[in-house]
Structure 1
Amino acid sequence: MPLNGEATTAGRPVRVLLTGWFSFLHGEVTAGDMLAAEAVQDALRAASVPYTTAWSPVYRPDAPHLDDADPDAYTHLIFACGPVHSRPDPDGGPSPLMALHRRFAGCRRIAVGVSVPDPADPAATGFHDLLPRDSARQAEAGQTTADLSVRAARPAPVPLLGVVLTGGQHEYGPRRRHAEVSEALETWLGTLDAARLPLDTRLDTRDWRIPATPAQLHAVLGRLDAVVTTRLHGLVLALRAGTPALAVDPVAGGAKVSAQAAALDWPAALTSESVTPQNLDELLAWCLTPEARHRASRTADRSPLPHPLLDALIQRLAPSDGPTA
């Protein structure tokens, strides 16, 4: 229910500190927890309740952090999503939730959208109000509630990028720039607002995380918005699937990746010497355009056409009077 005017608690204006497992230094930040926090934030804003969200300094170094929050500045503490338990920190430290109860003892503490494995756990009984999504008691009564993350606003779409990198190719000896190129690409990829999917062109019938057939890899490549790769087949198979590829040749002076980009008349290719954030940004922006998608589709359409190397191979199999060059 929206609050009329400025709500107060014991004469003090209501001020909420929003926390969760995402607030702890060694806590885990999950997409579900973050979306649950966004749903709570939306509800607080709609009710005109001022709040601050505390984030782990590991995940958000520049955001407000739990250690910096003054307990006296808040009337309420909300703990959103995740399990409620008093188990100690994996590193041997005290229970994060029990420490939260002690430090914010002067606040009214509310847990919302949480799982409660044991209602008698002191971490659970330490809250003044417990609004679980599921608990042992709710399960017995068939009264579980949908997770808060389902109420979070739908996000704007972001590109889906496949990433195919190689650290091998030792046959190029001192010309190898694989480590430097991979480091530059990984740093750059981390700055993008995109969904990044690590992929490999290697096949394996024993590991479900790796495609077992080319068709399985093709199915993934064809659903991507673009591919970022340092592998020859990362480039070729992306284009074969009709997906634009940003290819980087990790060999100084250029080698097989550059050669394939030239053979396929594909412009979104860089040498190891030209890898800069600006160049990567510009080529990725082009790869995400309809023009690039159309050009990649034209490359895919070439696959049924005759191939000069296959023609040459068949010619070599024809009977002859002597060896050919």
Structure 2
Amino acid sequence: MTGGRSPRILLTGWFSFLNGEVTAGDLLAAEAVQDALRGAGLAYDTAWSPVFRPGALHLDDADPARYTDLVFACGPVHSRPPADGVPSPLLALHDRFAACRRVAVGVSVTDPDDPAVTRFDHVLPRDTDGQPTGVPDLSLRAPAPSGLPLVGVVLTGGQHEYGARRRHSEAGAAVTDWLRTVEAARLPMDTRLDARDWRLPGTPDELHAVLSRLDVVVTTRLHGMVLALRAGTPALAVDPVEGGAKVGAQAAALGWPAVLRCEQAEAAELDRLLAWCLSAEGRERAARHTARPAGGGLLDGLLRRLAQPYG
């Protein structure tokens, strides 16, 4: 089917379709195929959904005449339409690239007679309905992960007691807009406890178990900062109250430097403090807070007052 042309492959998958979806497994399978094609010296392009990667090559912009082969990687192969009135994306792919040799690899075949399956020239499945065994998934062949930091994110939209000084929406937007640019694994968290909801910690110890395994916590909550430090995890705190309030006051009480007022939450400052939190100095400073404080402070003050005669 090459017609004497130099081979050029278009790599596709469910990650290529506007109405598809991109899973971590899909993306790793694509990386495994890309790695194999590069290793074999084969020229290729990858088509991405415009929603997932707006600046990349999109399927609608890929000229079928440019390619000798089309590879479809990972996911199920079927002809079911995604919604009423929307044609099957796989059948449309077959129609558009009919002049190419088409190969499916690492896919699940639920119906071998489905035209989405039979129209491929070759199908290399990871599993087929009715067969008891399969082959290892392509994601296992992807290049080794890069070891990104794990960042817990603890935000608050409450604290209405601060009235007109509240900048919680602005602070949350600044933090989340910035987080989209950070190369890290992000884990949304909450300090709120609820024994009825499995998505929330039911006890402080459950929360601590997560906090202690993170590389850094980004937070607009006082206890997001304090409990991260108690677990020995550096905290990048943004005080969401104009002029500063309890978050900034607690950071000062603890001598913790990685804190910004909401008015200061610019990307450059957030980047600077994140780098410090991830540094050896930041980790060492956070580790100091794992020890229980010595006597004094609020509890001694409470006990002195309770020891005074009543009345």
SS of the residue corresponding to residue 196 of structure 2 reads coil
- Residue 46 of structure 1 deviates from its aligned partner by 1.1
> How far apart are 1:255 and its partner, in Å?
0.5
Counterparts of 2:46 and 2:159, CA distance in 1? 47
Residue by residue, what CA displacement relative to the aligned partner does 1:40-65 show, whole Å, maximum 9, x if unpaired?
11111111110000001111111111
CA distance in 2, matches of 1:85, 1:165: 41
Match of 2:38 in 1: 45
SS of the aligned residue for 2:217 comes to strand
1:310 aligns to 2:264 (yes or no): no
Distance 1:119 1:235 in 2: 55
Can you give the 5+ residue segments of structure 1 that lack an aligned partner in the other structure?
A: 1-7
Give the CA RMSD over aligned residues.
1.2
- Equivalence for 1:5: none
What are the Cα deviations for residues 257-290 of structure 1, in whole angstroms up to 9, with x where unaligned? 0010001000000001111000000000000011
Q: Distance in 1 between matches of 2:186 and 2:85?
A: 33
Aligned to 1:3: none
Match of 2:5 in 1: 12
Alpha-carbon shift at residue 162 of structure 1 (Å): 0.3
Shift in Å at residue 90 of structure 1? 3.0
- CA deviations over 1:208-253 (Å, ceiling 9, x no partner): 1111000000000000000000000000000000000000000001
Q: Distance in 2 between matches of 1:91 and 1:198?
A: 34
Q: C-alpha deviations, 1:141-194, integer Å up to 9, x for none?
A: x3x000000011102111100000000001111000011111111100000110
Does residue 256 (structure 1) correspond to residue 246 (structure 2)? The answer is yes
- Number of corresponding residues: 311
C-alpha change, 1:275 and 1:197, in structure 2 (3 Å) is: same
What code does the residue aligned with 2:247 have?
A: V
Distance of aligned partners of 1:251 and 1:91 in 2 relative to their CA distance in 1, 3 Å threshold? farther
Answer yes or no: is 1:320 the counterpart of 2:309.
Answer: yes
Write the mapping of 1:1-325 to structure 2, written as runs, cut at 5 A.
Answer: 9-90=2-83, 92-139=85-132, 142=133, 144-301=134-291, 303-320=292-309, 322=311
Between 25-34 and 221-230, report the one with greater CA deviation: 25-34
- The alpha carbon displacement at 1:307 in A equals 4.3
Residues in 2 aligned to 1:179 and 1:276: alpha-carbon distance in whole angstroms: 15
Instruction: Tell me the distance in 1 between the aligned counterparts of 2:260 and 2:84.
Output: 44
> Which string of whole-angstrom CA distances, capped at 9 and with x for unpartnered residues, describes residues 12-67 of structure 1?
21110000000011211111111101111111111111000000111111111100
Aligned letter for 2:126?
A: R
Secondary structure (helix, strand or coil) at the match of 2:163 reads helix
How many angstroms apart in 2 are the aligned matches of 1:126 and 1:307?
77
Q: CA deviation at 1:304?
A: 4.6
Q: For 1:319 and 1:274, how far apart are their aligned partners in 2?
A: 45
Question: Amino acid of the residue matched to residue 261 of structure 2?
Answer: T
Question: Taking structure 1 as the reference length, what is the TM-score of the superposition?
Answer: 0.93
Instruction: Give secondary structure in 2 for the equivalent of 1:120.
Output: coil
SS in 2 for 1:205: coil
In terms of mean alpha carbon deviation, does 311-320 or 273-282 score higher? Answer: 311-320
Report SS of the residue matched to 1:166. coil
1:163/1:307 Cα in 2 relative to 1: closer, same or farther (>3 Å)? farther
Distance in structure 1 (CA, Å) of the matches to 2:144 and 2:39: 17
Q: Secondary structure at the match of 2:95?
A: helix
Secondary structure at the aligned position of 2:49 is classed as coil
